Amino acid sequence: MPFSRTSIAGLLLLPLLMAGCRSRIQDNPIGKPITIKPPLGLPAVPVPADNPVTAEGIALGRKLFYDKRLSSDNSLACAHCHDPKFYFTDGLRLSKGVKEQLGVRNAPTILNAAYMPFQFWDGRAISLEQQSIGPIANPVEMNNKTHDIFLGKLKGDPEYATLFRKAYGSKDINLLRVEKALASFERTLLSGGSAFDRFQYGGDSTALTPEQLRGLVVFMNPAAGNCAACHTLGSKDSLFTDGKFHNIGQGVKDEGDFNDVGRYHETKVETDKGAFKTPTLRNVAQTAPYMHDGSIKTLPEVVDFYAGQGNSNPYLDPEIRKIHLSPQDRRDLVEFLNALTGEMPPNSGPPAK
């Protein structure tokens, strides 16, 4: 049977399609995949099949993370908003970008972000790979009008040519490789081994103080703090977040409107107005200020906010209800939150020059 025009066209396109597949395959790391060992209290790290973690990929991602040339004016790196000195936040109410431009949200920690099904407060990214390049192009953050601007800078650096070759098999520097390398490094930014972990998962009955033990009871009790409704705990490990989006009555204007509609930005679902991703409580004592807008300065103030049921609005989450906490309950709860400070990940600071 003779070939049709369609089948001949398909045969002509086949080499191009195969070349495209080979190019994409070459963008996967070529080194031997390594297993990231999570610290006490954390589960195994999920890793996508098309981006296995390698030592070479991590090294490249670490250098990129601390390189100010990723910003348009070479003034700030990813670490500007996610600084290890502040447990990978920036310690500010609202994040600042190039030329001191003020963002509209608080910079969340990226410690343990590897476990999150959604990234950013509004969940607009569904992977670390997707998240990693968002701020680079954001005009209020790193302000590259196109990704080619920062890629051009990297291409002029012979050290990067070597690092990309080691990680991916050639010196080609492209956006896909950058996002994969950054994500690989960020998957190593794990923090566990807190006093709570030693008590709950390590068998150390003395790891928590009496105040912290009482605070744990308040935290878990649905009739008291009810914190575990969203900041979930598990029998073998705990992320202290359900990874979901909730309207907690924060950022509501007097007339019932929202300063920031949160998840609604992405879904356009009416009931998502004012909903934001549940942040992890791990290292929460080290990552002030709090809430998506950084408007609450201290942990005691956070506890008081929840005890007061937040601000009324049509979409308030049903789990946000008035709770009755004595002054001692509140102090104990804060002490328990202090017990969630974990170990900082090794080899996570700026690489040696």
3-state SS, one letter per residue, for 219-285: HHCCCCCCHHHCCCCCCCCCCCCCCCEECCCCCECCCCCECCCECHHHHCCHHHCCEEECCCCCCHH
Does the pLDDT value for residue 255 go beyond 70? no
**pLDDT score at 253:** 79
Q: Does 234 map to a domain?
A: yes
Q: Does 10 map to a domain?
A: no
One-letter identity of residue 275: A
Q: Does 13 map to a domain?
A: no
| Residues 302, 214 share a domain | yes
**pLDDT score at 13:** 41
| Residues 332, 210 share a domain | yes
The last residue of a domain, from among 186, 208, 228:
186
**pLDDT score at 308:** 87
**pLDDT score at 26:** 52
Residue 81's domain spans which residues? 29-186
**pLDDT score at 287:** 98
Measured CA angle at 353 (ends 33, 158), to 5 deg: 75
**pLDDT score at 75:** 95
Of the pLDDT bands very low, low, confident and very high (cuts 50, 70, 90), residue 9 is very low
Give how many domains the chain has, as a whole number.
Answer: 2
Does the pLDDT value for residue 94 go beyond 50? yes
Q: Does 86 map to a domain?
A: yes
Contacts of 68 (CB under 8 A, 6+ apart): 74, 75, 76, 77
Mean per-residue pLDDT over the chain, rounded: 91
Q: Does 48 map to a domain?
A: yes
Percentage, residues of the chain above pLDDT 90: 83
Query: Which pTM value belongs to this model?
Result: 0.90
| Residues 137, 87 share a domain | yes
| Residues 170, 43 share a domain | yes
Average pLDDT over residues 151-168: 96
The domain that holds 40 is classified in CATH as 1.10.760.10
Percentage, residues of the chain above pLDDT 70: 92
